Amino acid sequence: MRNALFETRPLAGAIGAEIRGVNLSANLSDGMVAALRQALLDHLVIFFRDQDLPPDRLLALANRFGTPNEYPFVKGLDGYPEVIAVTKLPDETVNFGGVWHSDTTYLQEPPMATLLIAREVPPVGGDTLFANQYLAYENLSERMQALLSGLRGIASSTKADASRTREDRIRTDGTAEPRKVLIAEHPVVRTHPETGRKALYVNVAHTVGFAGMTEEESAPLLSFLFRHQIRPEFTCRFRWEPGSLALWDNRCAQHYAMNDYHGYKRVMHRVTLAGDRPR
């Protein structure tokens, strides 16, 4: 699909599109930024190839789409605290972000979007999967939707599924308080503030239970939701190359970094954009 400003090539029926004909390091017009933001709302994650974006330009680009914020557990690059290195070294076995999640939902105001650019990638492997949480909600029965509408999920930064994926980076680049516990309560079904659509807003990395229920009581329903929300027909898969950039909407999409490249180095740079309190 082509509009006046760029070409859009969907990756899958459910989610994701590659944008061609845009140089993100250029001084983007307001019209271009608005068109790209609309593409993000339409496709939930958009991808670009062959982008020359060192940290200063990456941060400048991020500022065109929102307000960059700092990750609570890993220090940013020198001079660019909002830009963190997402790295796996050849001798490491666990990768950063290697579990289905929406970024840092244990914050009271989780990030609305994330930019991730590839600096060094393995010869094979290291893809990232994305899942459409609008479709996850819409493909539930009406009775299940009604049940979930009254529930709130408890998200914790210490859930083992996620905390182990950042241990290597905390060891080498951790902040002054790497073991602090962050907990937030959010609706299980959130309404996107821009599109008005409803999306599932729990994830296996951070959600530990439902408010007012024990973890044991919460577990059976959460187990179902965690399986349901990443059904293959809700997903797309992206193969990285150096200079590839992804911009995704954390309010309605989840992602998963594949850990299938042991013995190779993978380096990405990430910026998250400040969001609002889910409703």
**Active-site amino acid positions:** 101, 103, 255, 270
- Angle, to 10 degrees, between the axis of helix 30-43 and the axis of helix 55-65? 80
* CA-based nearest residue to 197, from 251, 275, 140: 251
Which residue type sits at 206?
A: H
Q: How far apart, in whole angstroms, are the C-alpha atoms of residue 25 and residue 53?
A: 6
Residue corresponding to tokens 């309190």 = 277
Whether the Cβ atoms of residue 55 and residue 80 lie closer than 8 Å to each other: yes
Helix-strand-coil percent breakdown of the chain, rounded to 5? 25, 30, 45
Fill in the amino acid letter for 4: A
Q: State the Cα angle at 208 between 202 and 211, rounded to 5°.
A: 85
| Exposure string for 147-181, b = 16+ CB within 10 A, e = fewer | ebeebbbbbbbebebbbebbebbbeebbeeebeee
Using CB atoms within 10 Å of the CB of residue 31, give its burial: 0 to 12 exposed, 13 to 18 middle, 19+ buried. exposed
Cβ neighbors of 182 (< 8 A, separation 6 or more) are 72, 104, 106, 107, 156, 157
